[in-house]
Amino acid sequence: MLAMVNDMYKRLQESNKSLQEYNCKLQLDLSTASENLKRSESKKVAVVEDLGNAKGGYNSIQEQFTSLKVSHDEASKEKEVLSGEVACLRVDLNQVRDERDKHCTQVEVLTDEVRNLHVIEPFVQAKCLSQSEQIKVLREKLTVTERRLKECDLSAMELRTESEEQKKVISHLQSRLSEAEFKVAEGEKMLKKLHNTILDLKGNVRVFCRVRPLFPKDNGSGGKIFSYHTSMDTRGQGIYLLQNGQKHSFLFDKVFTPEPSQEDVFLEMSQLVQSAIDVCVFAYGQTCSGKTYTMLGRPGYADEKGLIPHSLEQIFQTTQSLKSQKWNYEMQVSMLENYNETIHDLLPSQSSTDSSWTENSTAKQYVIKHDASGNPSVSDLTVVDVCNTKEASYFLKHAARSRSIGKTQMNEESSRSHFIFTLQISGVNMVLEFQVQGVLNLIDLAGSERLLKSGSTGDRLKETQSLSSLSDVFFALAKKEDHVPFRNSKLTYLLQPCLGENAKTLMFVNISPDSSSVWGVAMLT
């Protein structure tokens, strides 16, 4: 046993040295990436300003178009009223002309009568004068009516010409708006590419360490077994472990002390969630070290949500905001547990009730298969479509309730199975004719405490052995070996695409500050 520990300690030292050298290299690469990111941010600001100007111009033209449309409608109504008046006046004019003709005829008749009857000459002259005055008034009315008709025709022609010009302007602005929307979509595409580039520079496999607070029920001396690096180079990344009077140093990509909140922890991994392209996040550690709290949080407490609820909220908020850019997303959720190398479905089928979930899951034999592209699937596993956070949280709550519980001497309510939450994302942009697909796996692993300490035997012994298979896979990937033993356990075989070279993996090493767990902590780190 001592030889095995010494050998493991040497391997860890060699690994630690290589990680330090690799960290220096990453720092240089990160500086270069930061400069590229700044230039990208400048381009993004310029694109956003152009978009703001285009939208402002579009809104201004839209307001002018609305005003002109109202003016056009009012002019059209006025034209209809004037057209009615003109029609009436034309009728009156025809009547006047008829009366004039009639009066002219009467005048001629009366003139003949006057010639014959000189006695009634004064009366006839008065009547003719009256008729002449009436004709003069009607002629004036006719002149006014014809002038107003000409003005209406000119006004209608001007409005028609102005309306055609406005239609051309609106068509041009709509074309510019379409170009601006296309540029914004291209900019988002470029930002996504830069985001993934930055994540690649940070490393496809990262390890975070999280120390839980000391609880009153803990038996040990507490905070004396841990201290943290204070140097500028490794502050926030290094931790010291005190064991048998010796001080052992360990480096991680990030170290969380007990003080940071759940929100602070999620912010460190939110960029991985944003990419959501074959991402795998593990919670690893001893029983009662805070793994389930890190992944699921504390039910009923909004400020203590774990990584899974936070990830769901971020993804649904992002997909909702991208709808304005013509992105449509579909998401599917599955949840299972791997217990003693046996898969159990934690979601209900459409025909089952809550009480029959576990029975139906146990009766089926779930088989892991890989298609021609290497994408895994589990036969008969329930996969449900989700449209919002509420639906996903509902299934998550009931899946967590159905999870198998095994008792050990360390924690009588300790979960002894690997809980795997999988979110499949598929997005389509009809403007860019572009599709994206991604898989987000969030795993709460079984406790990794020492077998003698936990009192695990038989099936309980088998539970812990799948973790060694996961460790073997990580060692093989780190050494870039030709053969990676994915098939040694169902856990690694199911997650094979998310542990490869093009995937992004984050391991949360959860550790307990209880001094009685110091040996297990040393093995973990």
- The confidence score (pLDDT) of residue 25 equals 83
- Of how many residues is the chain composed? 525
Write the pLDDT tens digit of every residue in 114-133. Answer: 667 665 566 667 777 888 88
> Does 421 score more than 90 pLDDT?
yes
Distance between CA atoms of residues 404 and 339, nearest Å: 8
Write the pLDDT tens digit of every residue in 434-468. Answer: 788 888 899 998 887 644 455 555 555 565 677 88
What DSSP string runs through 19-35?
HHHHHHHHHHHHHHHHH
Q: Return the amino acid letter for 51.
A: L
DSSP at 480? T
| Weakest-pLDDT range from 112-126, 152-166, 348-362, 411-425 | 348-362
Report CA-CA distances (Å) from 94 to 133, 145, 418: 18, 13, 99
What integer best gives the mean pLDDT of the chain? Answer: 78
Architecture in CATH of 204-524: 3-Layer(aba) Sandwich (3.40)
Find out whether 289 and 449 touch, Cβ atoms under 8 Å: no
Helix or strand or coil: residue 287? Answer: coil
What DSSP string runs through 176-245?
HHHHHHHHHHHHHHHHHHHHHHHHHHH-SEEEEEEEPPPPTT--S--GGGEEE--STTTTTTEEEEEETT
Write the pLDDT tens digit of every residue in 174-192. Answer: 777 767 666 655 555 555 5
Write the pLDDT tens digit of every residue in 470-504. Answer: 888 888 887 888 888 888 888 888 888 878 666 78
Q: How many CA atoms lie within 13 A of 448 on its CB side?
A: 27
Region at 339 (left for phi over 0; alpha for psi -120 to 50; beta for the rest): beta
- The confidence score (pLDDT) of residue 114 equals 64
Number of H helices, E strands in the chain: 11, 14
Residues 6+ apart with CB under 8 A from 350: none
Write the pLDDT tens digit of every residue in 322-352. Answer: 888 788 889 999 999 888 888 888 887 654 4
- The confidence score (pLDDT) of residue 463 equals 59
- The confidence score (pLDDT) of residue 442 equals 92
Report CA-CA distances (Å) from 495 to 26, 115, 480: 26, 125, 18
Distance between CA atoms of residues 289 and 228, nearest Å: 18
Write the pLDDT tens digit of every residue in 352-384. Answer: 444 444 445 555 778 888 887 778 888 889 999
Q: Point out which residues pair with 354 in neighbouring strands.
A: none
Find out whether 402 and 357 touch, Cβ atoms under 8 Å: yes
- Within 10 angstroms of residue 415's Cβ, the number of other Cβ atoms is 21
The CA R_g of the chain, rounded to the nearest whole Å, is: 42
Structure tokens at 274: 């944003």
Give residue 229's pLDDT band: very low, low, confident or very high (50, 70, 90).
Answer: confident
- The confidence score (pLDDT) of residue 458 equals 56
**Domain residue limits, the chain:** 1-203, 204-524
Residues 6+ apart with CB under 8 A from 250: 16, 209, 238, 239, 240, 241, 525
pTM of the entire predicted model: 0.60
Distance between CA atoms of residues 384 and 333, nearest Å: 5
Q: Return the amino acid letter for 285.
A: G
Report CA-CA distances (Å) from 398 to 141, 190, 346, 355, 362: 88, 39, 8, 11, 17
- The confidence score (pLDDT) of residue 219 equals 64
> If 0-12 CB within 10 Å is exposed, 13-18 middle and 19+ buried, where does residue 305 land?
buried
Q: What are phi and psi of 114, to 5 degrees?
A: -65, -40
Helix or strand or coil: residue 374? Answer: coil
User: To which residue do tokens 């034999």 refer?
Assistant: 365
Write the pLDDT tens digit of every residue in 237-289. Answer: 888 887 777 888 888 888 998 889 999 999 888 877 766 566 789 898 888 88
Write the pLDDT tens digit of every residue in 189-213. Answer: 555 554 455 445 455 788 899 998 8
User: To which residue do tokens 């170009």 refer?
Assistant: 179
Average pLDDT over residues 278-301: 86
Distance between CA atoms of residues 430 and 387, nearest Å: 20
Q: Return the amino acid letter for 489.
A: S
Tell me the CA end-to-end span of the chain in Å, nearest whole number.
18
